[in-house]
Every structure is written in C-alpha cells, then in structure tokens.
C-alpha cells in the first residue's frame, strides 16, 4: 500500500512539474513573439522617408546621365558637321534614334508616379536597363567614328 501511495505521489508531482514547465514555456514564447513583432514592424514614416530619399537620389543621378547623353550627342553632331556627306548620311538616322530614346527616358522619369515599393523596384530596374542600353548604343556610335 505504501508503494502505491508513493508511486501515485511521484507520478502526480512529475505531472505537476511538467504541466507548469510547459505552461511557462508557452507563455514565454508568446511573449517573445509579441515583442519580436513590435520590434520588426518598421515605422511607416521611416520607410516613406527612406523611399523618398532613394527616389530623389535616383532621379538626380538619372537626370545627370540624361544630360550627359545630350551633351555627348551634341558633341557628336558638331563633329559630324565637319565630316563628309557620306558619313553624315550614315549617322544622321542613328543620332535621331538616340535623341528620341534619350527624350523618352527623360519623359519616363518625369511621368513616374509613386505606386508603391514593388512598382518602384520594377520601374528602377527597367529604367536602369534601358539607360544602360542607351549608353552602350551612344558609346558604340561615337567610338565607331573615332
């Protein structure tokens, strides 16, 4: 009889310890999760400010690239004025295409509307790819003639 009582007491004590330990661990995990959510949730103003700063920086850099392209095209046109008519005829259409592409890039930049972070990232990637192609075409054109 004594062994039965002792066994039941030990089992009861073990069950109480396990139950208390599990309950405390569950509460701690819940509390940690709630604190983690509060810490990882960014401040909306901070995100908007960061996004706005990124846009302004991107816009000014892109405008500078477009201005540089315009200057390169103008310099190339000036150089073509001193060339023969055969060379002028060859490059006039290409110059016109590059000027149109450069104006298109400028227009894209001006017309961009803030449509959220995903749209911004897509615009930025596409714009940079188009700008790189334009720069490469311009460099190829000017280096062909040198």
How large is the average pLDDT for residues 114-137?
Answer: 87
If one compares 51 and 107, the residue with the highest pLDDT of the two is 107
As a three-state string, the secondary structure of 87-140 is: HHHHHHHHHHHHHHHHHHHHHHHHHCCCCCHHHHHHHHHHHHHHHHHHHHHHHH
Q: Is 116 left (phi over 0), alpha (psi -120 to 50) or beta?
A: left
How large is the average pLDDT for residues 2-17?
Answer: 74
Per residue in 82-122, pLDDT (tens digit) is 777 777 777 888 888 889 999 999 999 888 887 777 888 88
If one compares 60 and 51, the residue with the highest pLDDT of the two is 60
pTM of the model: 0.61
Per residue in 10-48, pLDDT (tens digit) is 787 676 667 776 666 666 676 776 776 555 555 556 656
Report the C-alpha gap between 34 and 40 in whole angstroms: 10
Q: Which of 92, 116, 101, 106 is nearest to 44 (CA)?
A: 116
């Amino acid at each position: 009889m004594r062994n039965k009582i002792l066994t039941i007491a030990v089992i009861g004590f073990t069950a109480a310890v396990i139950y208390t330990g599990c309950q405390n661990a569950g509460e701690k995990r819940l509390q940690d999760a709630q604190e983690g959510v509060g810490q990882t949730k960014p401040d909306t103003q901070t995100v908007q400010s960061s996004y706005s700063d990124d846009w302004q920086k991107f816009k000014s850099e892109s405008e500078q690239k477009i201005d540089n392209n315009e200057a390169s095209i103008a310099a190339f046109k000036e150089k073509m004025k001193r060339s023969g008519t055969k060379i002028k005829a060859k490059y006039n259409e290409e110059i016109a295409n590059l000027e149109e592409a450069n104006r298109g890039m400028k227009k894209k930049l001006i017309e961009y509307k803030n449509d959220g972070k995903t749209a911004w990232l897509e615009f930025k990637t596409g714009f940079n790819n188009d700008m790189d192609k334009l720069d490469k075409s311009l460099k190829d054109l000017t280096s062909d003639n040198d």
